[in-house]
Structure 1
Amino acid sequence: MRKRLATAAGALLALAASVLAAAPAAQADAQATPGFHVADGRLLDANGGDFVLRGVNHAHAWYPDRTAQTLKDVKALGANSVRVVLATGDRWTKNDTADVAAVVAQCKQNRLVCVLEAHDTTGYGEQAGAVSLSRAVDYWTSVKSAVQGQEKYVILNIGNEPYGNTGYASWTADTKNAIARMRAAGFTHTLMVDAPNWGQDWSFTMRDHAAEVFASDSAKNTVFSIHMYGVFNTADKVKDYLNRFTSQHLPIVVGEFGNMHSDGDPDEDAIMSTARQLGVGYLGWSWSGNGGGVEYLDMATGFDASRLTAWGQRIFSGADGIKQTAKEAGVFSGTGPATGSCAVGYRISDWGNSFNADVTIRNTGAADVKGWQLAFAFPGGQQLGSVWNAKAVQQGTQVQAGNESWNETIPAGGTVSFGFNGSSTGTNGVPAAFTLNGAACAKS
């Protein structure tokens, strides 16, 4: 999207001495604890729990004096994350190491996961002044000390909308190179990569090369981000795009979207409902401060949480909105997976009235499980169809699935998988809870 944001005059505000003094301690926070990571196409937090981004974007690079209050406000409204605009210094005044450290500290103080993005790459190849992903990597390397040790709280979005509608065929090679350089520089964070075509991937360049890009990451810890504006103006387009990723067990989030746009009317209802059904994260654009004709994308008028716009009301309080679907990251609440020694992954490929579900049971205990029964409840009007690699029955909304002779044992640390198809007359989605032989399992 071509974003015309009103920029704040002058240099960034000076940082408080107390925040600077705390930065070294923050950088050293729990280095030994793993951070966010990708498993079986899902984003997991440091405790191993499924984490689904539900938040908004904030233009910190232009409005640094608004950041502290913005983070408090979006947290109070139910968000679990915020995507923060940073500038590399190539197009806009650089957000330096001290400033980035302060932003991370403020996110943590408000129990928000920080998705940090470098914005100067926007529309590279088409937009005058835009810089390459390689320059974005240079920026991240220059501020590395601000995010090192924060892998439990921070996701690094390498570059915003890194190609316009010119030269986007280079996206695959350039993204692979950027990921490789980030890893070589010692970044162990989950990395997020945006699509080309102003983030909307109408050419399907990211969609068709995502598996290749993911495989190139030595850490296998990359998440893909699609921006949904006018290109995604029907439910079919939204569902098809997101299902292409989830059906391949590739991690996808909607990194930006709005309720209207000059390039077409995005179907925000379909974006939010499909994200909920598939367990896909979303981050709406944007809290406040839009200018140049796209002021309608503000969620809060004049950064005032008491004056939410129609878009702000929709994303926070509407169906499938943030208040209804957001869950705080386990690293803040002190909770991880459900008690027990199992974790269940449930992936849907949804076609409206019919769907496929792929189910993976992971034995996280120290002993083999011999003979298994998995129980769960369908969340809507689903009806079980044919089943493979398991025997299953349905009574009302309740489903019981058990082993076949060839997959009777789940080794310690191992997995078994089965699948089924079905029909749906209501809103599809992931079951709320699973039990394995009567014991609660985590969702993965």
Structure 2
Amino acid sequence: MKRRLLTLGAAFLVVVASVLVFVKPADAAVGLHVEGRTIVEANGQPFVMRGVNHPHVWYTGRTDSFADVKALGANTVRVVLGSGKRWGPSTDVPNVVSLCKQNRLICVLEVHDTTGYGEEGAAASLDEAVDYWISQKGALVGQEGYVVINIGNEPIGNVDAGQWTAATTAAITKMRANGFAHLLMVDAPNWGQDWQFVMRDNAQTILDADSRHNTVLSIHMYAVFHTAAAITDYLDRFEANGWPLVIGEFGWRFNANEVDHETILAEAQARGLGYLAWSWSGNTDPILDMATDFDPARLTTWGQRIFNGANGIKATASEATIFGGGPTGTPSPIPTPTKSPTPTPTGGGKACAADYRVVGQWAGGFQGEIRVTAGDSAISGWTVTWTLASGQAVTQAWNATVATSGSAVTARNVSYNGSLGAGAATTFGFLGSWSGTNAVPPLSCTAS
């Protein structure tokens, strides 16, 4: 009888425990968290990262970069930090988080010192990276809705990549033991590219190690992923197993042996995967720079592609609802875009038309975009003018040289977007402030 009572008592406790587990499924839901393969916000709204990497630890004075990448449409920025082992230490985490929030960007923070551990002698271990996060805990607790902690960048090189599984498991366990409730991101070994498939083959072990079940895996795609087949096969494995994944870094095909970025962008969009392209500016090899000398008005081929191309940031990014954006937010009413009348061709048949669009609007501020289209003949330059409504001002612009005189605004092409074939188009954008009514003005476009 006693044994039966003990058995019944144990069964009762199992039922109670299962009920407790059922009614409390969202320990991780204090902020950004994973549900199956998907990253979601605390309110349950899916969030797909569309952003870039910013090498902050080496260019700490370039804080305007946060506003610049936001103005180009990003919803996320991955910020390079240093633990002090190789770079830094980055002690300005509170300011970095504040810059992300001011610019309505989800902030992925990463320790870069771990890059290539086991092969790079100066690299920090993942355990040392966790010690850095613990030292910054005061700036991070309470920011779970805004911040993702990427424990360590490319934490194992090509020497003994198998050590990654135990090291990553231990790092996640230590983060949770020290009270971090954030969404954690973990990079693959093999300098992030997982060409030996250690992360792919041990993904479930890593996810199970997280007591909060709130970890997303991150693959870095460079020359290893230079074919569509390599990319789709890798992504298929994660999708089939229901594992959460983001493309935490990738470059572009500037020669035949480099990464097939077109497939990455298309597959990420089709599968609902987040991506963070490398990188905004400041690379030793500037071919991976998106902006020349951190200037958003001087986007490179890579920058134009990632921000303005098909499946790029501008076309696919949705702002996190925690900032009031996205489909479940309640944004301020956006004026219906108006199209300027098509001008009568002048000056040898050269003409252009300009369309004005409000991309996003919030209390006191907005982002505008103007599309310039050539007429029936090719043009070599264009100028767009308009008059600001009362209370409006232009505060920043890119892909055009913009000047204001009182309420009059003049925007001229820059060196790389003035020449347009017949019927071809280009766009430029700007940030502005407003009060009263954020009216859409009529535009005038002249061509040369």
Smaller-chain TM-score range? 0.5 to 0.7
Match of 1:44 in 2: 40
CA drift of 1:263 comes to 10
Structure-1 residue corresponding to 2:323: 332
Q: Is 1:35 matched up with 2:35?
A: no
* From 77, 84, 97, the counterpart of 1:89: 84
Amino acid at match of 1:78: G
Partners of 1:335 and 1:145 in 2: how far apart?
Answer: 29
- Specify the alignment match of 1:62 in structure 2: 58
SS in 2 for 1:171: helix
Secondary structure of the residue aligned to 2:290 is coil
Structure 2 CA distance for partners of 1:262 and 1:147, relative to 1, 3 Å: farther
Query: Which residue among 306, 310, 324 is the counterpart of 1:319?
Result: 310
- Which has the bigger relative contact order, CA under 8 A and spacing at least 6? 1
TM-score, length of structure 1 as denominator length: 0.67
Task: Give how far 1:131 is off.
Answer: 1.1
CA distance in 1, matches of 2:167, 2:85: 18
2:116–2:157: 8 Å Cα contact kept in structure 1? yes
Contact 1:86 1:94 in 2 (8 A): yes
- Give 1:210's aligned residue: 203
The residue aligned with 2:151 is 158
Distance, in Å, in 1 between the alignment partners of 2:151 and 2:253 is 26
Match of 1:425 in 2: none
Supply the AA of the counterpart residue of 1:259: W
CA-CA distance at 1:338 after TM superposition: 8.8
State the SS of the aligned residue for 1:188.
Answer: coil
How many residues align structurally? 304
For residue 87 of structure 1, what is the amino acid of its counterpart?
A: G
Residue 270 of structure 2: SS of its match in structure 1?
helix
* Contact 2:318-2:325 within 8 A present in 1 as well: no
**SS of the residue aligned with 2:56?**
coil
Residue 169 of structure 1 is matched in structure 2 by: 162
Change in CA separation of 1:175 and 1:320 when aligned onto 2, cut-off 3 Å: same
Aligned counterparts of 1:124 and 1:176: Cα–Cα separation in 2: 16
| Structure-2 change in CA distance of 1:181 and 1:198 (3 Å) | same
Give distance in 2, aligned partners of 1:276 and 1:335. 16
What is aligned with 1:226? 219
Q: Which residue of 2 aligns with 1:110?
A: 103
**8 Å Cα contact 2:282-2:289 kept in structure 1:** yes
Q: Which residue of 2 aligns with 1:401?
A: none
Say whether the 8 Å CA contact 1:48–1:336 is kept in structure 2. no
Equivalent residue number for residue 257 of structure 1: 250
The 5 Å alignment of 1:281-300 reads 281-291=274-284, 294-300=285-291
Letter in 1 for 2:148: I
The correspondence of residues 66-145 of structure 1 with structure 2, limited to 5 A, is 66=62, 68-96=63-91, 99-145=92-138
Structure 2 counterpart of 1:191, from 169, 184, 193: 184
What SS class does the counterpart of residue 267 from structure 2 fall into? helix
Percent identity of paired positions between Structure 1 and Structure 2? 58
Q: TM-score, normalised on structure 2?
A: 0.66
Query: Match of 1:405?
Result: none
Residue matched to 1:243: 236
Q: Which structure has the larger Rg?
A: 2
Q: Distance in 1 between matches of 2:137 and 2:309?
A: 38
In 2: Cα distance, 1:282 partner to 1:32 partner: 22
Instruction: State the Cα deviation string for residues 154-194 of structure 1 (Å, max 9, x = none).
Output: 00000000011002110001100000000000000000000
User: What CA distance in whole angstroms lies between the structure 1 residues aligned with 2:287 and 2:229?
Assistant: 25
8 Å Cα contact 2:28/2:182 also seen in 1: no
Q: Which amino acid aligns with 1:82?
A: V
State which drifts further: 45-54 or 182-191: 45-54
Structure 1: runs of 5 or more not aligned = 1-30, 340-444
In structure 2, give the amino acid aligned to 1:53.
M
Q: CA 1:256/1:309 → structure 2, altered by over 3 Å: closer, same or farther?
A: same
Distance 1:314 1:336, change over 3 A: closer
Equivalent residues in 2 for 1:427-438 (5 A)?
none
* CA RMSD in angstroms, aligned pairs only: 1.9
SS at match of 2:120: coil
Specify which of 296, 299, 313 is matched with residue 305 of structure 1. 296
- Aligned partners of 1:338 and 1:143: how far apart in 2? 31
Displacement, 1:282?
Answer: 0.3
Deviates more, 1:218-227 or 1:37-46: 37-46
How far off is 1:39 after superposition?
0.6
Q: Tell me which stretches of 4 or more aligned residues in structure 1 moved more than 2 Å.
A: 260-264, 334-339
